[in-house]
Amino acid sequence: MPYQILIFEDNSRLRQSLEMLLNDEANFYVAASFPDCDNADKQVEKYNADIVVMDIDMPGIGGIAGVKKIKNTNPDVKVIMHTMFDDDNRIFDSICSGADGYMLKNTSPLQLINALQEVMTGGVPMSPFVAQKVFQHFRQSKIEAEQFDLTAREKEILELLVKGNSYKMIANKCGITIDTVKKHLQNIYHKLHVNCGTEAVAKALRHKIVNPE
Amino acid sequence: MPYQILIFEDNSRLRQSLEMLLNDEANFYVAASFPDCDNADKQVEKYNADIVVMDIDMPGIGGIAGVKKIKNTNPDVKVIMHTMFDDDNRIFDSICSGADGYMLKNTSPLQLINALQEVMTGGVPMSPFVAQKVFQHFRQSKIEAEQFDLTAREKEILELLVKGNSYKMIANKCGITIDTVKKHLQNIYHKLHVNCGTEAVAKALRHKIVNPE
DNA sequence: AAATCAATTACACATTTGGGTAATAGATGT
DNA sequence: ACATCTATTACCCAAATGTGTAATTGATTT
């Protein structure tokens, strides 16, 4: 039995050509397609869908909210985003909302078919550009981090603070007095432009000045 | 001119078969291969490499440190990790260190060849399982977050704390007294199993209990 | 040789934070 | 109707945090 596919895409021309493209494959069957995803969760239920092809920019609730709805009720349905948007926010919001793939609309028909095949074998298809963005997200750290110009000692102390150590514990672990710790942290706060430890921790983690875990 | 490839792999049988495999391709040429990557940066320089295939578990400095060295001196060289390890730490450390791809050793020869072709066209080849892990890294948030069982009010207050607000500022913004803020935070600290604000902030960000940014 | 920077210590002072205990009122659930 | 949960306030007290100023040492730079 072919995989049941739903398409959510507001451009009717594109929607129809997607339908034709996918229906040409022996193991795909487009059960239905819609110009908006306001009832996406119910449609998925009704048609017992295996795969959803989801546009982002649509009238109504939008594709990212759509994924969320679908994944809440049917976590096993595979959802592949299919959009022309390649900005960080849309990409990461989609992933966080539970998308199983992210293909840009400049993808060739063959590659899109491959993406759908791939997602059914447990893969996570994404356009090369998207993969780039995702990898970059992990890096970019040091470039920014070095902007703050922390000394080795300061980084060490900040790292201990982020790990939840009190001033006293930091003093012990570094073999220095608590006053020195205070002084270092004071300098650190100035360099990070923050006023207290909690802010410093937030900034350190967000800007990846210290290693996460 | 074929792409110049370097291989770092301590298993000599595998190293040799990789050499043969890649040399069979018209546009690849294995310039050299080594059982460790202690001088990886210099070798890359010397052989003017385009692509590096890098094992992780090797005697000496190890593949992840190896990537770092190479990327520091030659950021344009493409480095593909090639390893049997599929744990989160090795994957994310590799990415953070600058790897341009991550292929598991159960990859078929054909897929490995494709991965190398892909990386030269700006792609980021990775085994499906690795892509899964990477995507999961963005999600996992809510699943874990809900474990802590914070009430709506507690989430709100934790979020304000993470943003760098003092107890007093939180009290103002929420229109409640500072004592109430204290009480809420006390409850939050218990639920998160932490003892102070900095730890709570670290945990909130790491477990994505609050929105980043 | 002089200047700068990193790391260090010290002290004083005000403010903030965190723990414990107790009590009230409204909402929710059984 | 009773029990539980959530949000709220209050008070006391100890400990931690943050700021300012000042001084010393060693290393690095100019």
Give the tens place of pLDDT for each residue, A24-51: 999 999 999 999 999 999 999 999 999 9
Q: Which of A123, A141, A194 is closest, CB to CB, to B164?
A: A194
Which residue does chain B place closest to A139, by CA atoms? B96
Q: What is the mean pLDDT of chain B?
A: 91
Low-confidence ranges of chain A (pLDDT < 70): 140-146, 212-213
Measured between CB atoms, does A126 come within 8 Å of chain B? yes
Q: How far apart are CA A44 and CA B46, in angstroms?
A: 57
Inter-chain CB pairs, A–B, below 8 Å: 90
Query: Encoding tokens for residue A164?
Result: 């939840």
Domains and CATH numbers, chain A: 3-138 (3.40.50.2300), 142-206 (1.10.10.10)
Predicted pLDDT at A146: 62
Model pLDDT for residues B158-211, shown as the tens digit of each residue? 999 999 999 999 999 999 999 999 999 999 999 999 999 999 999 998 887 877
Length of chain A: 213
Q: Which nucleotide is nearest to B178 (CA to C1')?
A: D9
Q: How far apart are CA B196 and CA B198, in angstroms?
A: 6
Measured between CB atoms, does B164 come within 8 Å of chain A? yes
pLDDT for residue B33 is more than 80:
yes
With an 8 Å Cβ cutoff, are B206 and A212 in contact? yes
Q: What's the CA–C1' distance between B186 and C19, in Å?
A: 8
Residue given tokens 């049988």 in the structure block: B13
- DSSP assignment of chain A: -PEEEEEE-S-HHHHHHHHHHHHTSTTEEEEEEES--TTHHHHHHHHT-SEEEE-SS-SSS-HHHHHHHHHHH-TTSEEEEEES---HHHHHHHHHHT-SEEEETTS-HHHHHHHHHHHHTT---B-HHHHHHHHHHHSSHHHHHGGG---HHHHHHHHHHHTT--HHHHHHHHTS-HHHHHHHHHHHHHHHT-SSHHHHHHHHHHTT-S---
Q: Which amino acid is at A37?
A: C
Predicted pLDDT at B208: 79
Q: Is the dihedral of CA A208, B141, B132, A33 positive or negative?
A: negative
Q: Which residues of chain A neighbour B161 with C-beta distances below 8 Å?
A: 198
